[in-house]
Chains A and B, each alone.
Chain A
Amino acid sequence: AQSVSQHNHHVILSEAASLELGCNYSYGGTVNLFWYVQYPGQHLQLLLKYFSGDPLVKGIKGFEAEFIKSKFSFNLRKPSVQWSDTAEYFCATKEGSQGNLIFGKGTKLSVKP
Protein backbone atom coordinates (compact mmCIF):
# COMPACT_ATOMS: atom_id res chain seq x y z
CA ALA A 1 0.00 0.00 0.00
CA GLN A 2 1.12 3.52 -0.67
CA SER A 3 2.15 5.75 2.22
CA VAL A 4 3.16 9.32 2.94
CA SER A 5 5.55 10.53 5.63
CA GLN A 6 5.76 14.05 6.96
CA HIS A 7 8.89 14.70 8.94
CA ASN A 8 7.86 17.50 11.23
CA HIS A 9 4.95 17.36 13.64
CA HIS A 10 5.11 21.02 14.69
CA VAL A 11 7.11 23.85 13.17
CA ILE A 12 7.35 27.28 14.81
CA LEU A 13 8.63 30.22 12.78
CA SER A 14 8.75 33.97 13.03
CA GLU A 15 7.16 36.10 10.34
CA ALA A 16 9.31 36.55 7.22
CA ALA A 17 11.21 33.32 7.88
CA SER A 18 11.47 30.79 5.06
CA LEU A 19 9.50 27.58 5.26
CA GLU A 20 10.19 24.06 4.08
CA LEU A 21 7.98 21.17 5.12
CA GLY A 22 9.17 17.69 4.27
CA CYS A 23 7.11 15.00 2.60
CA ASN A 24 8.21 11.58 1.37
CA TYR A 25 5.96 9.12 -0.41
CA SER A 26 6.16 5.47 -1.33
CA TYR A 27 6.16 4.97 -5.06
CA GLY A 28 2.99 3.32 -6.38
CA GLY A 29 3.50 3.64 -10.12
CA THR A 30 1.77 6.81 -11.26
CA VAL A 31 2.72 9.93 -9.33
CA ASN A 32 -0.15 11.97 -7.93
CA LEU A 33 0.88 14.30 -5.11
CA PHE A 34 -1.02 16.98 -3.25
CA TRP A 35 -0.53 19.48 -0.47
CA TYR A 36 -3.63 20.51 1.50
CA VAL A 37 -3.91 23.18 4.19
CA GLN A 38 -6.36 23.34 7.08
CA TYR A 39 -6.63 26.79 8.65
CA PRO A 40 -8.04 26.89 12.20
CA GLY A 41 -11.77 26.24 12.08
CA GLN A 42 -11.85 25.85 8.31
CA HIS A 43 -12.10 23.00 5.87
CA LEU A 44 -9.19 21.42 4.03
CA GLN A 45 -8.14 23.38 0.97
CA LEU A 46 -5.95 22.33 -1.91
CA LEU A 47 -2.68 24.27 -2.02
CA LEU A 48 -1.11 22.59 -5.04
CA LYS A 49 -0.84 19.32 -6.92
CA TYR A 50 1.65 17.49 -9.10
CA PHE A 51 1.04 14.79 -11.69
CA SER A 52 3.72 15.29 -14.33
CA GLY A 53 5.81 17.93 -16.11
CA ASP A 54 7.79 20.69 -14.43
CA PRO A 55 8.84 19.31 -11.03
CA LEU A 56 8.56 22.76 -9.45
CA VAL A 57 4.88 23.38 -8.84
CA LYS A 58 3.44 26.72 -7.84
CA GLY A 59 0.30 26.85 -5.76
CA ILE A 60 -1.91 29.40 -4.12
CA LYS A 61 -0.85 31.96 -1.48
CA GLY A 62 2.81 31.95 -2.58
CA PHE A 63 3.45 28.28 -1.84
CA GLU A 64 5.45 25.99 -4.09
CA ALA A 65 6.61 22.39 -3.95
CA GLU A 66 9.39 20.50 -5.65
CA PHE A 67 9.03 16.93 -6.80
CA ILE A 68 12.34 15.06 -6.60
CA LYS A 69 11.87 11.61 -8.08
CA SER A 70 15.20 10.21 -6.89
CA LYS A 71 14.38 11.11 -3.29
CA PHE A 72 10.64 10.26 -3.42
CA SER A 73 10.10 13.71 -1.96
CA PHE A 74 7.59 16.49 -2.48
CA ASN A 75 8.60 19.23 -0.06
CA LEU A 76 6.49 22.35 0.42
CA ARG A 77 8.20 25.74 0.49
CA LYS A 78 7.43 29.38 0.99
CA PRO A 79 10.14 32.07 0.94
CA SER A 80 8.58 34.31 3.59
CA VAL A 81 5.78 33.18 5.90
CA GLN A 82 3.09 35.36 7.40
CA TRP A 83 1.11 35.03 10.61
CA SER A 84 -1.91 34.07 8.45
CA ASP A 85 -0.05 30.93 7.30
CA THR A 86 -0.60 29.41 10.75
CA ALA A 87 -2.39 26.16 9.91
CA GLU A 88 -1.96 22.42 9.60
CA TYR A 89 -0.46 21.17 6.36
CA PHE A 90 -1.06 17.74 4.89
CA CYS A 91 0.84 16.01 2.13
CA ALA A 92 -1.15 13.36 0.27
CA THR A 93 -0.99 10.93 -2.59
CA LYS A 94 -3.79 9.12 -4.39
CA GLU A 95 -4.55 5.43 -4.20
CA GLY A 96 -4.53 4.41 -7.85
CA SER A 97 -7.70 2.42 -8.31
CA GLN A 98 -9.85 3.71 -5.49
CA GLY A 99 -9.17 7.40 -5.97
CA ASN A 100 -9.02 8.13 -2.27
CA LEU A 101 -6.28 10.25 -0.76
CA ILE A 102 -3.60 8.81 1.49
CA PHE A 103 -2.52 11.48 3.91
CA GLY A 104 0.58 12.09 5.93
CA LYS A 105 0.05 12.78 9.62
CA GLY A 106 0.22 16.51 9.07
CA THR A 107 2.53 19.31 10.17
CA LYS A 108 1.28 22.12 12.36
CA LEU A 109 2.82 25.45 11.45
CA SER A 110 2.74 28.25 14.01
CA VAL A 111 3.94 31.65 12.82
CA LYS A 112 4.78 34.17 15.53
CA PRO A 113 3.92 37.78 14.63
Chain B
Amino acid sequence: DGGITQSPKYLFRKEGQNVTLSCEQNLNHDAMYWYRQDPGQGLRLIYYSQIVNDFQKGDIAEGYSVSREKKESFPLTVTSAQKNPTAFYLCASSISSGANQPQHFGDGTRLSIL
Protein backbone atom coordinates (compact mmCIF):
# COMPACT_ATOMS: atom_id res chain seq x y z
CA ASP B 1 0.00 0.00 0.00
CA GLY B 2 1.23 3.49 -0.80
CA GLY B 3 1.56 5.94 2.00
CA ILE B 4 3.69 8.01 4.30
CA THR B 5 5.75 6.41 7.03
CA GLN B 6 7.00 8.41 9.96
CA SER B 7 9.42 7.01 12.51
CA PRO B 8 9.83 6.68 15.35
CA LYS B 9 6.33 6.99 16.78
CA TYR B 10 7.69 8.29 20.09
CA LEU B 11 11.00 10.09 20.62
CA PHE B 12 12.69 11.52 23.67
CA ARG B 13 15.31 14.22 23.56
CA LYS B 14 17.87 15.19 26.16
CA GLU B 15 18.93 18.77 26.74
CA GLY B 16 21.42 19.94 24.11
CA GLN B 17 20.77 16.98 21.83
CA ASN B 18 19.79 17.02 18.16
CA VAL B 19 17.24 14.43 17.08
CA THR B 20 16.07 13.46 13.59
CA LEU B 21 12.55 12.46 12.65
CA SER B 22 12.16 10.28 9.59
CA CYS B 23 9.53 10.71 6.88
CA GLU B 24 9.36 8.42 3.86
CA GLN B 25 6.71 8.30 1.14
CA ASN B 26 6.19 5.82 -1.69
CA LEU B 27 3.48 7.84 -3.41
CA ASN B 28 5.87 9.38 -5.93
CA HIS B 29 4.86 12.81 -4.67
CA ASP B 30 6.99 15.84 -5.48
CA ALA B 31 5.97 18.02 -2.54
CA MET B 32 6.58 17.24 1.12
CA TYR B 33 5.82 19.17 4.29
CA TRP B 34 6.54 19.16 8.02
CA TYR B 35 3.98 20.49 10.47
CA ARG B 36 4.04 20.85 14.23
CA GLN B 37 0.83 20.24 16.17
CA ASP B 38 0.34 21.70 19.64
CA PRO B 39 -2.89 21.35 21.66
CA GLY B 40 -5.33 24.12 20.83
CA GLN B 41 -3.07 25.60 18.15
CA GLY B 42 -3.80 23.49 15.12
CA LEU B 43 -0.95 22.65 12.77
CA ARG B 44 1.83 25.06 11.88
CA LEU B 45 4.25 24.72 8.97
CA ILE B 46 7.92 24.15 9.80
CA TYR B 47 9.50 23.44 6.40
CA TYR B 48 8.33 22.39 2.98
CA SER B 49 9.89 21.05 -0.18
CA GLN B 50 8.32 21.41 -3.60
CA ILE B 51 10.90 19.26 -5.35
CA VAL B 52 13.96 17.18 -4.55
CA ASN B 53 17.09 19.14 -3.56
CA ASP B 54 15.00 22.18 -2.71
CA PHE B 55 13.26 23.25 0.49
CA GLN B 56 11.89 26.42 2.06
CA LYS B 57 11.25 27.67 5.58
CA GLY B 58 7.73 27.73 6.87
CA ASP B 59 6.25 29.84 9.63
CA ILE B 60 8.18 28.30 12.55
CA ALA B 61 11.46 27.08 11.08
CA GLU B 62 13.75 28.36 13.84
CA GLY B 63 15.51 25.50 15.63
CA TYR B 64 14.76 22.99 12.87
CA SER B 65 16.57 21.80 9.75
CA VAL B 66 15.67 19.52 6.85
CA SER B 67 17.16 17.90 3.78
CA ARG B 68 15.62 16.56 0.57
CA GLU B 69 18.27 14.47 -1.12
CA LYS B 70 15.80 11.88 -2.37
CA LYS B 71 12.27 12.33 -3.64
CA GLU B 72 10.84 9.85 -1.17
CA SER B 73 12.57 11.13 1.97
CA PHE B 74 12.28 14.39 3.92
CA PRO B 75 13.90 14.04 7.37
CA LEU B 76 13.46 16.74 10.00
CA THR B 77 16.16 17.51 12.56
CA VAL B 78 15.13 19.17 15.79
CA THR B 79 18.23 20.98 16.98
CA SER B 80 19.26 22.07 20.45
CA ALA B 81 18.34 25.62 19.39
CA GLN B 82 14.65 24.66 19.49
CA LYS B 83 13.82 25.56 23.08
CA ASN B 84 10.31 24.11 23.17
CA PRO B 85 10.42 20.96 21.06
CA THR B 86 7.73 18.97 22.87
CA ALA B 87 4.99 18.51 20.29
CA PHE B 88 3.42 16.16 17.78
CA TYR B 89 5.17 16.31 14.40
CA LEU B 90 3.32 15.49 11.19
CA CYS B 91 4.79 14.90 7.78
CA ALA B 92 2.67 15.29 4.66
CA SER B 93 3.07 14.98 0.92
CA SER B 94 1.14 15.91 -2.20
CA ILE B 95 1.53 15.17 -5.90
CA SER B 96 2.62 18.77 -6.39
CA SER B 97 2.36 22.04 -4.55
CA GLY B 98 -0.56 22.99 -6.77
CA ALA B 99 -3.47 24.61 -5.01
CA ASN B 100 -5.99 21.87 -5.70
CA GLN B 101 -3.82 18.96 -4.62
CA PRO B 102 -4.76 17.52 -1.24
CA GLN B 103 -2.07 16.51 1.21
CA HIS B 104 -1.65 13.03 2.63
CA PHE B 105 -0.41 12.72 6.19
CA GLY B 106 1.72 10.28 8.12
CA ASP B 107 0.85 8.95 11.58
CA GLY B 108 3.10 11.43 13.32
CA THR B 109 5.98 11.41 15.79
CA ARG B 110 5.49 12.55 19.37
CA LEU B 111 8.63 14.23 20.72
CA SER B 112 9.16 14.78 24.43
CA ILE B 113 11.97 16.19 26.52
CA LEU B 114 13.71 14.03 29.11
Q: DSSP class of A's interface residues: helix, strand, loop or mixed?
A: loop
Q: A90 and B43 in contact (CB under 8 A), knowing A43-B105, A43-B107, A100-B48?
A: yes
How far apart are the CA atoms of A98 and B97 in the complex, in Å? Answer: 6
Q: Which residues on B sit within 8 Å (CB–CB) of A30?
A: 99
**Minimum C-beta distance from B106 to chain A (A):** 6
When C-beta atoms are compared, the residue in chain A nearest to B43 turns out to be A103
**Which residue, B42, B102, B104, has most C-beta atoms of chain A within 10 A?**
B42
Q: 1/0 per residue B16-48: CB within 8 Å of A?
A: 000000000000000101010000111111001
The size of the chain A interface, using a CB distance under 8 A, is 26
Say yes or no: A49 contacts B99, CB within 8 Å.
no
Interface residues of A in 85-103 (CB under 8 A from B): 90, 94, 96-103
CB–CB A105/B40 < 8 A: yes
B42–A103 CB distance below 8 A? yes
Minimum Cβ distance to chain B for residue A14 (Å): 24
User: In the bound complex, do residue A99 and residue B31 qualify as a contact, i.e. CB atoms below 8 Å apart?
Assistant: yes
- Cβ of A32 under 8 Å from chain B: yes
Residues of A within 8 A of B31 (CB): 99
Contacts of B102 in A (CB 8 A): 34, 46, 49
Indicate whether A43 sits within 8 Å of B42 (C-beta atoms), given known contacts A51-B99, A94-B99, A98-B48: no
B96 within 8 A of A: yes
- Among A30, A99, A102, A106, the one with the most B-chain Cβ atoms within 10 Å of its Cβ is A99
B58: nearest residue on chain A (CB-CB)? Answer: A100
Interfacial chain B residues near A106, Cβ < 8 Å = 40, 42
In the complex, chain B residues 49-100 whose Cβ is within 8 Å of any chain A Cβ: 50, 56, 58, 90, 92, 94, 96-100
On chain B, the residues within 8 Å of A99 by CB distance are: 31, 48, 50, 94, 96-99, 101
Query: Is B7 among interface residues, defined by CB-CB distance under 8 A?
Result: no
Contacts of B104 in A (CB 8 A): 46
